[in-house]
A and B are shown apart, each in its own frame.
Chain A
């Protein structure tokens, strides 16, 4: 029963991800005084991509074709271990939060290799920049997560959320720092403004888009879907780690229903924040990104230190 519920939750997760992307696009359009496409446009895009004949360069190797499958499956796996609408699901035990970061790294490893596979200048450029951004973002993310793990003395996500739920609404300075750090990392890792622009195709500014420039058809569809899921993963992480209230603690239908509603509410707030920041800020130069990420790192370090200095009782 629990395993079935975990499977259903995963399916819900990956099915809802394009909706979140559509909603985000709608918000952004509103803020920029544009007419927004339908909420369900991302689903139509995906369906269109899956039906198209993919075009693959002559010089591509099997890595190029395998990478989208690996990226998508690691992302789906990550989604499956994160408590979405209910805690205490058995899948959370398969991997803890350190492994979760490892999954992202695995997917990225293959995506970056795929970018270099064809031997184009843009692919290599995107790959090189992606590795820079991610290698600076990863420690900031780990530090933020460690702050949480040290408070809850577990790296199991479900247990950590239980811990926050049971201690009640306490203002912890460490959590505030860690949350802001995680938000900055989210912006960098999901390729949003001001680090990267998901809708640009201007050659010299793109990072993620440069890497996947050669993809088309179902391969592109898989990668797009994976990045939509990834955005949702970060959103859910922030929402459920720092504000887990409302998440279902037993598997009754009513609790699960409340869980869905609570999650939707939290994600709406987060996406409003993200779209506001995307509307306000301009994209940075590539070599300003390191300052942005070292700020994130500093925040998570401050979070860690304030946990050690202020919050640990002996």
Chain B
């Protein structure tokens, strides 16, 4: 049953791609309908109406997303069926090479990630129709957007279904290439073209690493199917080579530091609902690839791998959030925050690897569950925030935080939805982001069970960095919310914008916000469902997670740690209500509106508030060595001895250090090498003849 829904979902996504292309041919379709319905004049009249230009536009737009929504629903059902049933289904599809059909396997891990795709896809398909209306009058046909969106979704789902290396890589590349076209969709801007090219380049390098990683396994097993990879005994060296290649390949797609440079460029360049899919879902598919490769295909794990993943994860989380905090472009900020969250997921995976390698299966399982929970949670709140950012962009046409402000008065409903996203991503109780970070802390605290003193002291340090990260994340999203939604509007657009008129543009994010709250308050059923995943993957689960009942989370045992988000929420609401009754209702004093006090200064205007750059200044100063800061102040003065300043211009650019240290040298080396190679091409016929002559000579010598 689960596999049927999975196929249905893929088919719906592919169909939406085809339909998008077909639907672009309005006149052709009309003629086709004319031919088909020749005998039935009534139907023909109806078709004429439907294909009239004005109505057709609505049809066209909605048709792009109805099938995507269907694909989403089917994916969620497939996920539920896989998690509930716990069966592993396999199949072969009659495609691929003559001797290697496409092998399909649908287990609980695939099902869980199918569910992630589905939940976000439902939100995107609700949000999309309103959002893409803007592109209709643009230069680029919607058909392109719809076609590649469909392919992109189908590619991600096929990656989850693949059970042989060949099929996996094809699906992986389908996903990468389709998303490249989506990033390049608005290619009239040079920055977008550059971002798309960088993305493609990194995708190619990453895919190369993945192919090589599978190559190592295939060379030793002599076959491409995952079934032959499982249980393959590799020497520690070759296993480590395969793991490193896998980590580089999947880590590049997931955006681990220092391979993250493409991510903050590419994700904001795409249309917002695609950004939501890329940040919320595609990164999770990369994490899926890593989990599948490391925990399922590789037979044994080593603690050094865990340490590597832990270090990369820690670096990604702290650098990601520090850079995120310094961004003024909202979508770019969200993209950097994805780097942070992927880092958090890899911290959990690294902990899991360390525990598994030292034989602590139960604790390793706890780390794995924490990582999977954070995958789901991040998919929900990051997609929510990207869709919210899309709605803001759509209504105000201002990408920068510095020109927003006061949106809570103009868009009250979006403000509530976005607030839930900010609270969740800041890992605050009782929302969902907190649950997974809490699980990671609980995993990290079990290090007393490890033998090696070095690891025992490294893990708490990593968790302290995680603590710093979550505190900074709260600061970052306070900044986002405070600058965009609160205060006074900083531009005319922000002052006059309105709530999105298309209902779906609120319904999509609201659906995700509801899930964030639900998963935050009742996480236990979801964690229990993950027992099926870990049971299939590593043969263990967390049996004690609901030892105190389903309202409580007790990852290890009730005496070690327990948390009951529902009671927490109840207590907060109850206390708040009592305060409200005692202090407000009984006194009956209404608040008197007045001018802001502001220490009596008065005469406030919007430019006097703290903006995004100002808010993050203390953090910028404290962590100054992390950034490349370019700060310029231009001053124009008049009067005798230039004493009177008439105009001040302040410019700040915060650049990623990875560029200077890693990318620039690599790019310089490539340029240098190609310069050297180009010396061969002198342009004179005699040199080329000499090349041919010597080649021939060497070949003859070789043969004889």
Which of B429, B470, B558, B619 has the most CB atoms of chain A within a 10 A radius of its CB? B429
Q: How near does chain A come to B564, taking the closest CB pair, in angstroms? A: 5
- Convert B544-575 into 0s and 1s, putting 1 for each residue whose CB lies closer than 8 angstroms to a CB of A: 00001000100000111111100110011111
Closest 5 CB pairs of A and B: A124-B610, A116-B482, A119-B487, A73-B575, A132-B618
Which chain B residues lie closer than 8 Å to A55 at the CB level? 591-594, 597
Cβ contact of A135, chosen from B453, B472, B567, cutoff 8 A? B472
Stretch among B233-241, B437-445, B670-678 lining the A interface? B437-445
Which chain A residues lie closer than 8 Å to B483 at the CB level? 116
Which of B409, B470, B562 has the most CB atoms of chain A within a 10 A radius of its CB? B562
B604 contacts A by Cβ under 8 Å: yes
Q: How near does chain B come to A228, taking the closest CB pair, in angstroms? A: 15
Which chain A residues lie closer than 8 Å to B408 at the CB level? 61-63
Contact between A146 and B427, CB atoms less than 8 A apart: no
Contact between A57 and B597, CB atoms less than 8 A apart: yes
A205 contacts B by Cβ under 8 Å: no
Which chain A residues lie closer than 8 Å to B426 at the CB level? 105, 109
Q: How near does chain A come to B451, taking the closest CB pair, in angstroms? A: 7
Which chain A residues lie closer than 8 Å to B594 at the CB level? 55-58
Contact between B589 and A118, CB atoms less than 8 A apart: no
Cβ contact of A146, chosen from B463, B486, B561, cutoff 8 A? B463
B84 contacts A by Cβ under 8 Å: no
Measured CB to CB, the nearest residue on chain B to A113 is B482
Interface hits, B457-516 → A, CB 8 Å: 457, 460-461, 463-465, 467-468, 470-472, 474-475, 478-479, 481-483, 486-488
Q: A169 to B560: give the CA distance in the assembly, Å.
A: 22
B608 contacts A by Cβ under 8 Å: yes
Q: A109 to B590: give the CA distance in the assembly, Å.
A: 25
Contact between B486 and A113, CB atoms less than 8 A apart: yes
Which chain A residues lie closer than 8 Å to B599 at the CB level? 122, 201, 203, 213
Contact between B622 and A132, CB atoms less than 8 A apart: yes
Interface hits, A89-109 → B, CB 8 Å: 93-96, 98-99, 102-103, 105-106, 108-109
Interface hits, B247-282 → A, CB 8 Å: none
Contact between B464 and A143, CB atoms less than 8 A apart: yes
Contact between A102 and B434, CB atoms less than 8 A apart: yes
Cβ contact of A80, chosen from B451, B461, B472, B571, cutoff 8 A? B571
B659 contacts A by Cβ under 8 Å: no
Contact between B596 and A57, CB atoms less than 8 A apart: yes
Q: How near does chain A come to B347, taking the closest CB pair, in angstroms? A: 14
Cβ contact of B610, chosen from A51, A54, A125, A221, cutoff 8 A? A125
Which chain B residues lie closer than 8 Å to A190 at the CB level? none
Contact between A217 and B467, CB atoms less than 8 A apart: no
Contact between B579 and A305, CB atoms less than 8 A apart: no
B201 contacts A by Cβ under 8 Å: no
| Chain B residues with a Cβ under 8 A of chain A | 405-406, 408-409, 415, 423, 426-429, 434, 438, 441-442, 445, 447-448, 451, 453, 456-457, 460-461, 463-465, 467-468, 470-472, 474-475, 478-479, 481-483, 486-488, 548, 552, 558-564, 567-568, 571-576, 579-580, 583-584, 587, 589-599, 601, 604, 606, 608-610, 614-619, 621-622
Q: What are 8 sample pairs from A and B whose C-beta atoms fall under 8 A apart?
A: A65-B591, A73-B579, A94-B571, A116-B487, A122-B599, A128-B610, A135-B472, A308-B456
A269 contacts B by Cβ under 8 Å: no
Q: How large is the interface on A (under 10, 10 to 19, 20 to 34, 35 or more residues)?
A: 35 or more
Q: How near does chain A come to B625, taking the closest CB pair, in angstroms? A: 13
Q: How near does chain B come to A80, taking the closest CB pair, in angstroms? A: 7
Contact between A135 and B471, CB atoms less than 8 A apart: yes
Contact (A69, B467) CB under 8 Å given A77-B568, A121-B609, A150-B445 = no
Q: A121 to B471: give the CA distance in the assembly, Å.
A: 23
Q: A282 to B471: give the CA distance in the assembly, Å.
A: 27
A120 contacts B by Cβ under 8 Å: yes
Contact (A109, B478) CB under 8 Å given A95-B568, A96-B562, A99-B568 = yes
Contact between A98 and B441, CB atoms less than 8 A apart: yes
A286 contacts B by Cβ under 8 Å: yes
Which chain B residues lie closer than 8 Å to A159 at the CB level? 559-560
Contact between A214 and B428, CB atoms less than 8 A apart: no
Interface hits, A10-58 → B, CB 8 Å: 50-58
Contact between B575 and A77, CB atoms less than 8 A apart: yes
Contact between B405 and A134, CB atoms less than 8 A apart: no
Q: A129 to B481: give the CA distance in the assembly, Å.
A: 16
Q: A95 to B562: give the CA distance in the assembly, Å.
A: 6
Which of A61, A95, A96, A119 has the most CB atoms of chain B within a 10 A radius of its CB? A119
Contact (A70, B471) CB under 8 Å given A59-B488, A127-B610 = no
Contact between A139 and B467, CB atoms less than 8 A apart: yes
Measured CB to CB, the nearest residue on chain B to A219 is B591
Which of A52, A76, A128, A136 has the most CB atoms of chain B within a 10 A radius of its CB? A128
Which chain B residues lie closer than 8 Å to A125 at the CB level? 610
Which chain B residues lie closer than 8 Å to A69 at the CB level? 576, 579-580
Contact between A214 and B474, CB atoms less than 8 A apart: no
Contact between B622 and A290, CB atoms less than 8 A apart: yes
Contact (A120, B609) CB under 8 Å given A55-B594, A72-B575, A135-B475 = yes
A200 contacts B by Cβ under 8 Å: no
Which of A55, A99, A301 has the most CB atoms of chain B within a 10 A radius of its CB? A99
Q: Is the interface of A mostly helix, strand, loop or mixed?
A: helix
Q: How near does chain A come to B328, taking the closest CB pair, in angstroms? A: 15
Q: A81 to B460: give the CA distance in the assembly, Å.
A: 25
Which chain B residues lie closer than 8 Å to A136 at the CB level? 468, 471, 622
Q: How near does chain B come to A248, taking the closest CB pair, in angstroms? A: 20
Which chain B residues lie closer than 8 Å to A305 at the CB level? 457
Which chain B residues lie closer than 8 Å to A312 at the CB level? 448, 456
Contact between B429 and A106, CB atoms less than 8 A apart: yes
Contact (A146, B596) CB under 8 Å given A69-B579, A94-B564, A102-B429 = no
Contact (A217, B464) CB under 8 Å given A99-B563, A136-B622 = no
A183 contacts B by Cβ under 8 Å: no
A278 contacts B by Cβ under 8 Å: no
Contact between A50 and B467, CB atoms less than 8 A apart: no
Q: A34 to B265: give the CA distance in the assembly, Å.
A: 61
A74 contacts B by Cβ under 8 Å: yes
Q: How near does chain B come to A38, taking the closest CB pair, in angstroms? A: 24
Contact between B453 and A76, CB atoms less than 8 A apart: no
Contact between A121 and B486, CB atoms less than 8 A apart: no
Q: A65 to B591: give the CA distance in the assembly, Å.
A: 9
Contact (A139, B464) CB under 8 Å given A105-B474, A119-B488 = yes
Given A96-B561, A290-B622, 14 additional A-B pairs, CB 8 A: A53-B591, A61-B409, A62-B408, A70-B576, A99-B429, A120-B598, A121-B610, A124-B609, A124-B610, A128-B614, A135-B619, A156-B559, A203-B599, A314-B451
Contact between B428 and A213, CB atoms less than 8 A apart: no
Measured CB to CB, the nearest residue on chain B to A152 is B560
Cβ contact of A131, chosen from B442, B457, B461, B474, cutoff 8 A? B474
Contact between B468 and A138, CB atoms less than 8 A apart: yes
Q: A109 to B433: give the CA distance in the assembly, Å.
A: 15
A249 contacts B by Cβ under 8 Å: no
Contact between A59 and B563, CB atoms less than 8 A apart: no
Contact between A154 and B596, CB atoms less than 8 A apart: no
Cβ contact of A119, chosen from B451, B597, B606, B622, cutoff 8 A? B606
Contact (A217, B486) CB under 8 Å given A124-B609, A132-B622 = no
Contact between B471 and A138, CB atoms less than 8 A apart: yes
Measured CB to CB, the nearest residue on chain A to B456 is A308
Contact (A149, B618) CB under 8 Å given A94-B571, A121-B610 = no
Contact (A54, B482) CB under 8 Å given A109-B474, A124-B615 = no
A155 contacts B by Cβ under 8 Å: yes
Which chain A residues lie closer than 8 Å to B615 at the CB level? 116, 124, 127-128, 131
Which of B571, B604, B614 has the most CB atoms of chain A within a 10 A radius of its CB? B571
Contact between B571 and A106, CB atoms less than 8 A apart: no
Contact (A127, B474) CB under 8 Å given A69-B579, A77-B572, A287-B621 = no
Which chain A residues lie closer than 8 Å to B616 at the CB level? 128
Q: A125 to B482: give the CA distance in the assembly, Å.
A: 12
Cβ contact of A113, chosen from B409, B434, B478, B621, cutoff 8 A? B478
